Structure 1
Amino acid sequence: MNRRSALAALAFAAAFSVPTAGAAQTVEEFYTGNTVELYIGYTVGGGYDLYARALARYMGKYIPGNPTVVPVNMDGAGSLRMTNWLYEAAPQDGTVFGTFARAAPFDPLFGNADATFDALKFNYIGSANNEVSICAALARSGIETFDDLKEKELIIGGTGDTADTVQFPKVLNAVFGTKMRIINGYPGGNDVVMAMERNEVDGRCGWSYTSVKSGSAEWLANGDLNMLMQLSTTKHPEIPEVPLVMDLVQNEEDRKLLNLVFARQTLGRPYAAPPNVPADRVEALRSAFMATMADPEFLAETAALELEITPVDGAAIQALVEEVYKSDPAVIERLNGILQ
């Protein structure tokens, strides 16, 4: 090889050495001095917001490089606005992840044309809890039991077409003949609670029991709130006297439908990163999330807020979402008809 050829070879090697070095950047090197933004699909003060802000305060110390984790609220359409943004426009480098409605991953499956994402391509990070929700009515409504809902109309607040607060009562109306009228469009769960205080609505269905305990415990203590039904696949151990929706099912077709609807409760309040985030950074976020779930200071803070911690890891959430997408098409079609 002559001198000119040797120089050309060296120049060629140098030209391709920079990308190789960049690709070899470690997770710790990437996150050192960086900021991670945690987007919350709801307004300040509700359950999703409380969980996410507590997580943000502690998670950074478990991510290699110890980046600062900053919570950012982006509410709208029951968290669908943020979910679409997370999929379509958020940086795909591991500096952004978000929390959205547990129903959101299934919106495309259930026929929501406004859901412009592929839920199977998100990188699920974890959830701080699996969830039991309730239907509840203020005592002033005169509704004391679930059977009363079949005889008397209950006006309830909803937080968007994709939210539990809208989808769950629609399903119950269709399956059990209940008479819940939904006033839709509140930005978040906390806004529904304020609407109840202002006498705009008299109840809420698809209300996380953890949020009831953390934000409206005085209503329970004073007898101002009647819990009518538990909405999940299993009962919450603290409220065995409140009937479970699955125990009232009369036929196998309805059971399949309700299993499909309430499978999302296992997701609790899920966290996910956008598609295409490097696998080592996804794993770092997942590991940091689960480590935070065992952090003594985090647990003390969430206990003080009456927030239950029963963590679900990201891989389990990913598997559950994939399993739901394999559901019987006939059951999915029936559900789509109910939710329209």
Structure 2
Amino acid sequence: MAAFGVAAVVASFALAAAPAQAGSHGMDLSGETVEFVIPFSESGGSAKWANFYAPLLSEALPGNPTVVVKYMPGAGSTKGANWFQDQTFEETNGTLIFGSSGSTQFPYLLDDPRVRYEYGDWNVVLASGTGGVAYLPPDIAEQMDGMDATGLQDIDFIWGSQGATRLDLVPLLAWRMLGMNVEPVFGIEGRGDGRLMFERGEANIDYQTSSSYLKGVTPLVEGGSAVPMMSWGALDEAGNIVRDPTFPDMPSFKEVCEATPACSTEGEAWDAWKAFFVAGFPAQKMVFLPQGASDDAIATYTQAFRDIIAREDFAEMSEVTLGDYPQMTGDAAKETLRQGTQVPAEAKAYVKDWLLEAYGVSLD
């Protein structure tokens, strides 16, 4: 049911992105500076996403305010999210927005005790879908037999991770299902730091969200120092995992799983993986106004993002940075938020048991 809901949101993207009637707001931000805070370092996919939107948002908002991206990394993004929870619209008056990620949603979904934020208090004005790609050094990639990952099962992998309860649980669980031995080095501040570990030879496997892969890893692939293993895939309108439209020549995790005897696309592990994939990728990045935001401010920012998405040159501009994914506002963004902040109880229980068994992480 959750997968279908997100697919329905994707299907309604064209309607949700359509420009609203002019004159729906009167907010004026002339001479103001809008702080666009993201709870990660400046090296990852969220930074690239935010920096793509910031100048366009400056052009689209009434009064053309300066939009500045600020970074607040720490605790896998919960530090920044807890800080944003304490901010109010009354204090910031429309000059503060916050960009979350799946790595912010997953601790919330898993009842992480460090979470002191409540998504229900925030006001979503944009939701961005995305994907992700796992990649390998060329000599290790040669051990795969087509899409069959059995040849990787005897290799000891090292991977730089933000934490097992973050968005990184999607690749960690996928690699486990494939029978791979991946030892995470926890504590990096952003996925860009994981890419740097790979480049320095400190890690021999990595994954990046699509925006960071397109900008940071594609040059490595073109230079011969990295080979894509698989994407996580995307959802079709019926909620099925299909190939990611941004990487149509790359197999999805589902295809690799089906080709690898140790892996199965049925049962508890698959259901849990798919539930968290849906929560973390089709509903991956969102922009919020703080609690107490006025209807006028919400309408102003929603209209600004609609105007950006409706630009004739948006598809061309966003292709390299965002990939081929829906950018949603209004009711579609609200539905995406709902889907991104809930998973079935069975999937949550499975993941909690796995985290305790595999990494000694207790969230109860």
TM-score (norm 2): 0.76
Counterpart in the other structure of 1:109: 109
| 1:103-140 Cα deviation digits (max 9, x unpaired) | 3224222121112111232211213x421212211224
- The code of the aligned residue for 2:172 comes to K
Counterpart in the other structure of 2:195: 193
Distance 2:157 2:330 in 1: 37
> Which structure's CA Rg is the greater one?
1
Contact (CA 8 Å) 2:133, 2:230: kept in 1 or not? yes
How many angstroms does 1:288 deviate by?
A: 0.7
Instruction: Choose from 66, 70, 78 the match for 1:68.
Output: 66
Contact (CA 8 Å) 1:99, 1:271: kept in 2 or not? yes
Give 5+ residue unaligned stretches, structure 1: 1-25
2:34 is aligned with 1:39: no
Counterpart in the other structure of 1:154: 157
Distance 1:260 1:82 in 2: 25
Counterpart in the other structure of 1:220: 221
Q: How many residues align?
A: 311
How many angstroms does 1:327 deviate by?
A: 3.7
| 1:277-312 Cα deviation digits (max 9, x unpaired) | 112211211221121233457666545x54426312
2:300 is aligned with 1:284: yes
| TM-aligned CA distance change 1:328 to 1:269, over 3 Å | closer
Counterpart in the other structure of 2:8: none
Counterpart in the other structure of 1:329: 345
Counterpart in the other structure of 2:329: 313
Contact (CA 8 Å) 1:132, 1:235: kept in 2 or not? no
| TM-aligned CA distance change 1:299 to 1:321, over 3 Å | closer
| TM-aligned CA distance change 1:55 to 1:326, over 3 Å | closer
| TM-aligned CA distance change 1:240 to 1:58, over 3 Å | closer
Distance 1:186 1:158 in 2: 6
How many angstroms does 1:318 deviate by?
A: 2.4
**Identical pairs, percent:** 19
Contact (CA 8 Å) 1:98, 1:271: kept in 2 or not? yes
For 2:281, what is the secondary structure of its paired residue?
helix
How many angstroms does 1:167 deviate by?
A: 1.2
Distance 2:165 2:232 in 1: 16
Contact (CA 8 Å) 1:140, 1:224: kept in 2 or not? no
- The code of the aligned residue for 1:95 comes to T
Greater shift, 61-70 or 137-146, is seen at 137-146
Counterpart in the other structure of 1:246: 254
Counterpart in the other structure of 1:260: 275
- The code of the aligned residue for 1:188 comes to G
Alignment RMSD, CA only?
2.7
For 1:216, what is the secondary structure of its paired residue?
helix
For 1:267, what is the secondary structure of its paired residue?
coil
> Which gives a bigger RCO, structure 1 or 2 (Cα 8 Å, sep 6+)?
2
